[in-house]
Amino acid sequence: MDAFLDTNLGHLALTVAQTLALLVPVLIAVAYLTWAERKVLALMQMRKGPNMVGPFGMLQPFADAIKMLMKETIVPAGASRYLFLSAPMLTFLLAMIAWAVIPVNDGWAIADINVGILYLFAVSSLGVYGIIIAGWASNSKYAFLGALRSAAQMVSYEVSIGFVIVTVLLCVGSLNLTDIVRAQENLWFAIPLFPMFVIFFISALAETNRAPFDLPEGESELVAGFFVEYSSMSFALFFLGEYANMILMSALTTILFLGGWYPPLDIAPFNWLPGPAWFALKVAAILFCFIWVRATFPRYRYDQLMRLGWKIFLPFTLFWLVLTAFTLKLTGWLPA
């Protein structure tokens, strides 16, 4: 067996197995996140939510998937057909390939590269293209305006996210995601960098176009934003990409601020659970906060959204970055 793994074919087979071992649970989690969101929102609004298909409505995601697959994909007459159909595929593909560098346990990553953060920056930056292509290729003013809104929003909050991540990197001295988690073995960064933790979470809401920052889907003026002309599975791929990005941002929050796979305390009963279980629990907690915010806060106006990103988050994150660098240099804790 070891001799086979040392061959090129063996390396390929191992990579494919690792990819499936990570992406299959992610896809199942995406499906059941739609069910969990509807259930949690229903409980908060004193409703039942999905309850007819399967026990507790747990087969509802599969019923929705079958329904979407059986519907007809309608391409508007004036749309650019190739770009129109490729935009949702691009959005979903980028949401999947970002998981290549996410470690769910020590050494459990498809590609444990030393520039994992830069890889995530590159992939998240490309995510804007799927939305812009969808809005432009639809040949609709509503879709195009929604795409411009979404692109401006994502670019604006990527700046804040970038400064937050650089602040964490200053404390670690490495671009490797596994090293970032190992640096939090004794103290999670959410404690000393709590303001940046809060800003990162709020920016993640805006980055994934979630409420209260779901301005591209402003029903009163833009109907459904950049995907207003989409139907069937092309429509579903946008939603799968959005929920996959939610899980990705929750995983990144866990890695940067919540100690990754480490338990809160290295004592019983906390250390009874394995590392991947703690990682999954932390991601689930962040996802619950995503849903909780959607049920609680009204939608921002677009000018409020931009003011928050450029006039509040940008100067504050820049100030905290400089303050962190100064403090680390003054105390001699700056990593070599």
Task: Name the pLDDT band for 219 (thresholds 50, 70, 90).
Answer: low
Contacts of 27 (CB under 8 A, 6+ apart): none
Is residue 96 pLDDT above 80, yes or no? yes
The contacts found for 14-18 with CB under 8 angstroms, 24 or more apart, are: 15/110, 18/110
Report pLDDT digits (tens) over 253-269. Answer: 999 999 999 998 887 78
pLDDT score for 178:
93
Is residue 2 pLDDT above 70, yes or no? no
Task: Name the pLDDT band for 59 (thresholds 50, 70, 90).
Answer: very high
Share above pLDDT 90 across residues of the chain, in percent, rounded to a whole number: 45
| Residue type, position 273, single letter | L
237 within 8 A of 88, measured Cβ to Cβ: yes
Report pLDDT digits (tens) over 143-155. Answer: 888 888 888 888 8
Is residue 217 pLDDT above 80, yes or no? no
How many Cβ atoms from other residues are within 10 Å of residue 301's Cβ? 11
Is residue 317 pLDDT above 90, yes or no? yes
Torsion angles phi and psi, residue 28, rounded to 5 = -65, -40
Report pLDDT digits (tens) over 275-301. Answer: 899 999 999 999 999 999 999 998 888
Task: Name the pLDDT band for 221 (thresholds 50, 70, 90).
Answer: low
Contacts of 51 (CB under 8 A, 6+ apart): 57
pLDDT score for 110:
82
Average pLDDT, the chain: 88
Contacts of 282 (CB under 8 A, 6+ apart): 250, 254, 258, 259, 260
Joined tokens for residue 223: 């109907």
Window from 17-21, 36-40, 234-238 with minimum mean pLDDT: 17-21
